[in-house]
Structure formats: C-alpha cells, structure tokens
Amino acid sequence: MSRLKFFEEDDNNPTAIAEPIVQQAPIEQKLSPSKEARYRIEQQNIIKVDGNLASSTLAKRQYHFSINNVEMKGEIILEESHLDFGNTTLKQLGHFINRTDELKDRVLFTLNQKGKVQEIINTDHLKQKWESFKKQDLPQDPFIKELIDFDPKKVADIVKAGDEEYSDFKLMRNNLEINLFYDIILDQYLFSKDYNDFKYDNKSVISHLFNTNIDLYFSSRLLSENEDSFTLTKTSKVVFVNLHDIAAQYQANYQPTVKYAFTDFDYLHEQSVIISKSDGLIDSALATITETVKNNIESIVLFKLTRVKL
C-alpha cells in the first residue's frame, strides 16, 4: 500500500500526489494583554505493574500566557516543547507527539466567567497549520513511515482524528482542556477572588489505564494566605466509573502479565496552586493524578508549573 494514500487521494488514481492548494493566509488576530506571564512545566507520566516500573515519560514545555480581563480574551503560546520517553525505541513516537503539539503553537480564545475557553478565535490559523503538516510533514515523519508498514489502519485513524479535531471547535476545546497547563492556568481565579466559593461542574476524564471515561466532581478551598500570595487546593472525587467494564479490560489486558485478579479501582486528581497578590496570576502549581488497581497496576502523573521571567 502506498504511503501517499492516507494523505492525498484522487478519484482516478488513489495514490496520486495532489497539486498543492494555495491558501490565503488568515488575517493575524492580536490580543492587547492587561496581564502576561511566562511559565515552564514538567510533567512525568509513570506506569507501574505489580510494583515495578513499566514505563516513564517526561515532558518539558515553556508557555507564554496573556489575558485581557476586560475583553475576557486570552492567548497561550507554546514557545518550547521537549519530550523524553526514557526508551530509545520510542524516540520516534516522542518526536511525532512533539510535532503535533507544536501545531497549537498559538491559541487565541475568549473566556467564560469560570475562566475556561468559550471560543477559539484563531481556528483558521490552527486549521492551516494542520493541513500543511498533514500534506508536507506527516508522510515524511519517521514514526508514520514505520507505522504505515506495520499498521496502516492506525495511520488512517491518526489522519481522521486530526481532520475531525481541526474541523470541530468543541472537540478542539475539549482536547485543550485535557492539557494540565490549560486546565490549571484557565480557571475561576481569573475573574473571581472568592477563593472559598468556587463551584465546578462534573467533569468526564479519560482513563490512563483503560479505554473508558471517569466522571469526577471537583471541590476547592483556600488553604492559606500570606502577604504575597494565596494558596488554593483542588481535589477530585469519583462520581461514576463503569467498574464492570474496567474489570473486564483488566482481565484481558493486564492479568496475563500481573497474574493477580482484579482488586479495587481508585482515581484521584489533586492540585495545589499559589496565586500572586500583585497581579492575580499563578506563580506556581503542583498536580498529582493517581489511578490504581490496588496492588496490581498504577498510573501516576506528576505535574509542576513554575513562573519564570518574561
């Protein structure tokens, strides 16, 4: 099967390379910020099986965040992105993920009263980045070139998922909210200083271990205050998870390796955020997400955010 088939098709010749489409560059839209900050994040994802380390990845990224509180608009620019799988056999995958992350190099958006993305303004810019990547870079990517020989359906699925995301604002917004940086930086503290009265809607998250969603309720409170800052905490509680489905997936995918039977399932997401009194933006944050089948398998996400000089 030709590698080109997934990226360019013609009715008469499915493997033909299509003529490049000349697209007019979208008009650049700019934000006039009232506040801005630069952040660096480190995120480590760890999987343990029967108490032993099975995999570990480390992401380091640098972002620039701007907000106009009056217009309720914000902008996040991804300035640098580095991903280490800690495994030489997965370096190509890490490189590919970095390249796809960098497609969202600049996201301009409006915010709702709870500090979350309401509308993405520069969708034309983002879609053009994806189309250019899909036609020019994706077919030549080492990970994709290897995968297409091993599992061509997965390549088709990757292209389809990208087409869907960059054509559907709601899906793009939901995918951004999975990113812990977006989740922490864009929150209610941006427009409300009543830190003990934040109310959150139930949130559905994707399991790190199973092909299922988990419904969570979040609560937060003001933990402490000093002359320079406020410290807030945010904690999750599981509202609903399909334990029957999880147990079946565990039995099929993990028990042949772990040997031990399914036990108890738990999921916990905790955050601690320090907010500067001088400008009301976050100075630092820590987050931990743990998902476990007790004594058998465990997923741990360790996230650290630090504000650096502009």
pLDDT value for 23: 42
pLDDT value for 30: 77
Length of the chain: 310
Residues 175-188 pLDDT 10s: 999 999 999 999 99
Query: Does pLDDT of 26 surpass 70?
Result: no
Are 76 and 107 spatial neighbours (Cβ–Cβ below 8 Å)?
Answer: yes
- Please give the Cα distance from 161 to 134 (Å, whole number): 12
Q: Residue holding tokens 């020989």?
A: 149
pLDDT value for 31: 84
CA distances to 76, 154, 274 from 37, rounded to whole Å, are: 10, 38, 14
Rg (CA), the chain: 21
Identify the band that residue 12 occupies on the pLDDT scale cut at 50, 70 and 90.
very low
Provide, for the chain, the percentages of residues in helix, strand and coil under a 3-state DSSP scheme, each rounded to the nearest 5.
30, 40, 30
Are 242 and 281 spatial neighbours (Cβ–Cβ below 8 Å)?
Answer: no
Q: How many Cα neighbours within 13 Å face the side chain of 271?
A: 22
